[in-house]
Amino acid sequence: MIERVVSVLREVGDELVLPRFRNLTEGEVLEKSPGDIVTIVDRQAERELETRLTALLHGSLAVGEEAVAADHRVLERIGDPGPVWLIDPIDGTGNFAAGKEPFALMVALLRGGNPVLAVIYEPVPGTVTTAELGSGSYIDGVRTTMDQTPVSKPGDMSGALATTYLPESLKEQVISRASLLGRAMPPQYCAGREYPNLIRGEQHFTLFWRSLPWDHAPGALITREAGGVVRHFDGTDYDPAQPRLGLLACRDEEVFHLAKHTLLE
């Protein structure tokens, strides 16, 4: 199944998304809510992904980011006991619309609201990151697990801090404490790049505020299958069927507690 899902994302990315990269007209970039943009390519790609993915699995449903934006009731499908495709047609739309990297197509297959399969495809540079429940995580076909080099203090860690949507007081706290880290990294504005970077060992953690299911269900499965944790600030595991604000995706349990203590307590 996962090979067929990868093929679908590659096809849609290469046929519809990549040809429009740096090739959008002004009228093809829209604002669906204040500060939240969408392109016509997002909508076209989502429709095509939904058609092709549901054809792979008889009786499956789809929940796409743009379909939910048009009708919030679509989100109720996430908890369906049967198979549900969770679709982010272009993650990092702001980057894509600005003609810069990174951006990605992301899909997770849910059963009973729980991710069992995930694929992230980055048309530029052509990277595919995948995971299946119980079978590990892979980047371009190579199994990838988290680096286990011990960390004992904040200065041992690097982390990406997506602070844009944090409440102002918490944003000020996180920014002020970032100097305690060995390296505080700017966000990629694309979860489809942040999660692969995490399992590649390029950073120990990423801090997010918004935890929308299409942004994080694929990466959460990929992170967990590589040995990491994805948890809310209070320590509860991320659940795409019940998303809440505030999220730390971390290399391991040790990093989660150290990052939480350093930045949030």
Binding residues for Mg(2+), as ranges, are 65, 88, 90-91, 215
Nearest to 205 by CA among 239, 224, 228: 228
Interatomic CA distance for residues 177 and 172, integer angstroms? 9
The per-residue DSSP string of 79-135 comes to: G-SSEEEEEEEEETHHHHHTT-S--EEEEEEEETTEEEEEEEEETTTTEEEEEETTT
Q: Do 53 and 1 touch, CB atoms closer than 8 A?
A: no
Chain centroid, CA 100 distance in Å:
18
Within 8 A by CB and 6+ apart from 82, the residues are: 59, 60, 61, 111
Binding residues, as ranges, are 65, 88, 90-91, 215
At 116, list the tokens.
Answer: 């069992």
Q: Do 76 and 96 touch, CB atoms closer than 8 A?
A: no
Helix (H) or strand (E) holding 38: strand 36-39
Interatomic CA distance for residues 17 and 96, integer angstroms? 9
